[in-house]
Structure 1
Amino acid sequence: MPKIVFLDTNTLGNDVHEELQRFKNLGDVIYYDSTTANEITDKVKNAEIIVTNKVVITKEIMASCSQLKLIVVTATGTNNVDLTAAKELEIVVKNAVNYSSESVAQQTFAMLLSLMNGIHTYDSRVKSGQYSEGTSFTWIGNSFSEIAGKRFGIIGLGNIGTRVAEIATAFGAEVIYYSTSGISRNEKYKLVDKEELFSTSDIISIHSPLNDKTANFVGEEEFKLMPTSSILINTGRGGIVNESDLANALNTNEIAGAAVDVFAVEPIQENNPLLSIDVPGKILLSPHVAWASKEARKKLLEITYANIKEVNQS
C-alpha cells in the first residue's frame, strides 16, 4: 500500500477525525498536525503521496522523494507547490475546487450584516444594563442601513462570487461585477469596468484569486473612488487589498467600514495596521475562516479522498 503523509491536519480542524481516518483505506497513512520548513524533507522522504494545505513543496523536496508520485492540496490554490518542477519530475498535483462556496458566501454576509447592523454594539448595550436604564423601549444608537436598494459590487464572479450575487439579489441589492480575467461570466449581472465598480458601489465584495493581475488590486486610488458611505469585504485573498491603504482609508473616512477574513501574511502580524484603526468598530476581522464550515471541510476531504483514489487506481 502507498505511504501517504498528511503534513498539516491542524488546518482542517479537530472535528473531522472520522473523515481523516478513512484515508487508511487507501494506504499507510501518517498524520502530522503541522510541519515546519526544516521538517518537511525528513517527514516525506519515503512518501508516495503528500497531502498539504499550506506547507510549501519545493523542487528540492520533490527531488528528494524518490517514490513521490502525487501531491494533493487540500485547498483550491496551488501556489504552495512548484508546479513547473512537478511537471518536470512527472509528479501529479491535484487540488480541490468548489467545496466552500456556501461557506464563504455565508461568512461574507455574516460579517457584512454584523458590521452594517452594529450587532456587537446593540448586544453590548443590552448586556451592559444600559438599555435597562433607559426610558425608551428602543435604543437606535447610530442606526443601520438596509442592503435592499444598494449597489453591490463583486470582484470575481466565479462559483463563490456567483453565490454571493444570488444572496445579494435576494436582499434586494443591484448586483454589478468586475471580471479580473476580462471574461464575461454571467448575463444576469452587469459587467462593469474597474472605475465604475469602485465609484458607484455601496458594498464591494472580493472573490477573485490572488495572481499577478489582482495583487494590490485595491489600494489608495481605488479607495479615493469609493463613496464615503461604502463598505469593503474581503473573504478572497489578503494580498488583493493593500492593508496600509485600507487602514488609511478607514482612518480618514474615505470609506465607512470593512470586513476582512484574509491577510497578506497569515496569521496576521502584531504590527498589521488593521489592528490599530482609530475607530475599531469600523472594521470586523476574522482568522481566515470563511472557507471552513464543517460541511465545507467534509466536502474538501471527500474530494481529496477521490483525488488519491483516482491516481492510485490509474
Structure 2
Amino acid sequence: MSQLVFLDQATLPDVDLSPLQQLSLPLRSYPHTAPDEVLTRLADATVAIVNKVVLNAATLALLPNLKLICVTATGINNIDLVAAQRAGITVCNARDYAQHTVPQQAMALLLGLFNQIAPYHQAVQQGAWSRSSQFCWLGYPIRQLAGLNFSVVGYGGLGQATAQLAAAFGMNILIAERPGSAMIRPGRLSFREALQQADVLSLHCPATADNQQLLNSETLSWLKPSAVVLNTARGSLIDANALAQALRNGQLAGAALDVLDIEPPPPDHPLLQPDVPNILISPHVGWASQQAMQALVEQTADNIRSFFTGTPKRCC
C-alpha cells in the first residue's frame, strides 16, 4: 500500500501531525533514521518526508515506488536533485515558515552578545552583584546598537526581515552585493565594501557550492577589529578555524552563531574551545519556534495534497 513515511520526525517535536494524518495516504513515522535504514523504510513509500536525512543518487535509484520527497526545511542540500529528476521524483521544500522566528533569533543572539547577557547572569548567580558596593555591578562592557552599520549578506525574505529589526534599533542597514559580481545594483555595496563598513555582518544566504567558506581568513581580514559576525543561515558559510583564530587574535570583536559547519559539532570543534573569546552559540534553533514548526507541518501537508491533485507547490 502506498504510504507517507516521515524518516526523522523527532526534528519536529511536540507538533500536531493531524494535517499529515488527515491525508488520504497512511502515515508512518520514525523519530530518527540511520543511513542503513533508509532503503528498508522507504521500500513501499510513495512520499518521503525528511528534514535532514540524506537521499543520494544511489538510494533514489533503488526506490521505484517513490514519487515525492517533501523536505521539512528550506535547505535541500541533503537531496540529490539531479538524481531525483532523473528518477521522476518531485522534490518540494518549505518556505517562509520562519520569517519571524529566524530574525528574532538573530537579534536575540546579537543582543546577548552586545549586552553580555550570559556573562552577567553567570556573575549574578556567583554572587558578584550581592557583593557589589553599589546598586549595580558593572563587570562587562555593553555596546549600543543604535548608530552602528548592519551589513546584510543575502537580502531575501529573512535578510530583509532581520534588517527591519536592526533598523528598529537605530542601526544603519547596508546591503551587500553578491561576491564577485561585476554589477552593483542600486542601493547595494560591493561585497568587500559591505564587509569593510560593517559593525555587524549578518549572513542570510543559502548554502551553495559557490559560497562554501564565504568568510575565510582573507574575507574576515576585511572586517574592522570592532566588528561582529552574526550567522543564522548555514554553518558552511564560515571557515570555522579562520573565525576561531580571528577571535583569538582580537581581529574581530565577537561572533554570534546559530549554525556550525558540522552539526551536531564534535567536542573538539574549533569554535567550541574554551580559549575562543567573545562568542555566543545556539544549537541551530533559530527556526524552531512552536509556531514555525507547526507551519512546517501544514506546508508539508499542503505540498502532498497539491502534488496528488496535479498542482505541485514549492517544487525545487
Counterpart residue number, 1:243: 240
User: Which amino acid is 1:2 matched to?
Assistant: S
Give me the CA root mean square deviation.
1.8
Unaligned runs of 5+ in 1: none
Count, aligned residues: 308
1:22 aligns with 2:5: no
Residues 108-149 of structure 1, C-alpha deviations (whole Å, 9 max, x = no match): 011110111011222223232221222111222232111100
Identity of aligned residues (%): 36
Q: CA shift at 1:180, angstroms?
A: 2.7
Structure 2 unaligned regions, length at least 5:
311-316
How far 1:279 sits from its partner (Å)? Answer: 4.7
Deviations 1:67-123 (A, max 9, x none): 211111111111111111211221111111111121110000111101110112222
Hey, which of these two has a bigger chunk of helix by percent? 1
Please give the per-residue CA displacement for 1:206-261, whole angstroms capped at 9, x wherever unaligned.
Answer: 00011122111101112222111111011110110000000000000000110111
Aligned mates of 1:271, 1:10 — CA distance in 2: 26
User: Does the residue aligned with 1:147 lie in a helix, a strand or coil?
Assistant: coil
Taking structure 1 as the reference length, the TM-score comes to 0.93
Instruction: Name the counterpart of 1:223.
Output: 220
Instruction: Work out which of the residue numbers 300, 306, 309 in structure 2 matches 1:310.
Output: 306
Asked whether the equivalents of residues 158 and 185 of structure 1 are also in contact (C-alpha less than 8 Å), the reply is no
Return the match for 2:71 from 70, 73, 92: 73
Equivalent positions of 1:125-274 (< 5 A) are 125-180=123-178, 182=181, 190-274=187-271
Name the residue aligned to 2:12: 12
Q: 2:272 aligns with which of 268, 272, 275?
A: 275
Q: Distance in 2 between matches of 1:267 and 1:125?
A: 29
Q: Give 1:277 deviation, angstroms.
A: 4.5
State the distance in 1 between where 2:227 and 2:83 align.
Answer: 44
Alpha-carbon offset, residue 173 of structure 1: 0.5
Q: Does 1:300 align with 2:273?
A: no
Give distance in 2, aligned partners of 1:241 and 1:179: 18
**C-alpha displacement at 1:44, in angstroms?**
0.3
- Whether the aligned pair in 2 keeps the contact of 1:206 and 1:235 (CA below 8 Å) is yes
TM-score (norm 2): 0.93
User: Residue 292 and residue 174 in structure 1: after superposition, are their counterparts in 2 closer, same or farther (change >3 A)?
Assistant: same
Match of 1:3 in 2: 3
| Distance change >3 Å, CA 279–CA 87, structure 1 → 2 | closer
